[in-house]
Amino acid sequence: MMDKTAFRAARIFDGTDWHDDAVLLVQGGRVAAIVPAAKAPDARPLPEAIVPGLIDLQVNGGGGVLWNNDPSAAAIGTICKAHAAFGTTSVMITLITDTPDTTARAIASAQAAVGTPGMLGIHLEGPHLSLARKGTHDPALIRKMTHADQANLIAAKTHFDHMICTVGAETVSTDQVQALAAAGITVSLGHTDCSYDTALAYADAGATMVTHLFNAMGQMQHRAPGLVGAALDDGRLWAGLIADGYHVADAALRVALRGKAGPGGIFLVSDAMSTIGSDLTEFTLNGRQIFRAEGRLTLADGTLAGADIVLIDALRYVHQSLGLPLETALQLASTAPAQALGISDRGHLHPGAHADFFCLTPDIRAAGTWIGGQQITGGA
């Protein structure tokens, strides 16, 4: 007999609808049902609302740890726990462009960390990007994808359910994209100057995602719609968005959210660094200093270097500052990223889904988080 637990809240969002005064029934780490409170009188009362756990496809660090600087399995545990405190229950641990040695160590440690609560898979952002669109990535480490790189990535994928590679069209061929996609790797276009037509050719080859839409790519011109135009106009592509109030202007966020062609949609990412859940004021990446001030992370020259937010901050931003309905904001941070990876049993609380959820307060904060039905942090 599998353990059965029941959690009661004033309201529960299942990813589609709200259930007032309801109980979430969990069995074997999965959602069994959501029933009226009267049907489960012994349920554990939780504060406020129960909502699906957030899914962050771009997380470089947290809890004072940056994965590039500490590419260990223990670091993954620290990072996942730091984000869980803020309602994020699934994390794609992300490595920013680094040396082949650090990349290999990171992949090996991630293999050892599979099963860590909250770890969904890995995201390798670079090193195969466009130099012209390097952003905070170390230009000395950006390079073309070799056949050996391709083989290493495909071999690595066998250890993970989910793996994203952010690549630029300048350093990765459509044949390579085809091979990566065939191996089950999610290919995301980013840090690239590629044209609209090139982006579509890469989508034909199997790319299904665009990394932090608007940032580190060509913008939409009237006769040169660029990667931004392709991301919004081609329904095969899903696009991540950093909604921290700094990376993308509110008007651009609104236009993207209104204008995206489906079925591919927009999802929110944090692009969080080590600062999350810590009082760090600066740290290093590839030997360069990154400064934290006023909600931003920058290199000495002012280049944005990741974001100083967790995913719930982005959710709160699109709800409170852009005026999106709470349900839409929640979906952008849970259902949409799950769908972007082709995951059907996360990002909602319908029967059969992973019992990943958190208590949401009226001011959009997390007050207790559960992963697979087990309490990870906080709460009553």
| Residues taking part in catalysis | 271
Q: Are strands 238-242 and 266-269 parallel, antiparallel or unpaired?
A: parallel
The residue written with tokens 């009661």 in the block is 8
Q: Beta strands of 73-112 (E only): which ranges?
A: 88-96
Alpha helices in 279-350 (DSSP H): 311-316, 326-333, 335-340
The neighbour count for residue 287, using CB atoms within 10 Å, is 7
In this structure, are residues 291 and 281 in contact, taking their beta carbons and an 8 Å threshold?
yes
DSSP classification of residue 43: P
For the chain, what is the radius of gyration of the CA atoms?
Answer: 20
Neighbours of 260 (CB within 10 A): 20
CA distance to 181, 188, 196, 236, 344, per residue, from 205 (Å)? 8, 12, 14, 11, 24
Q: What's the rounded Cα separation, in Å, for the pair 350 and 347?
A: 9
- What's the residue count for the chain? 380
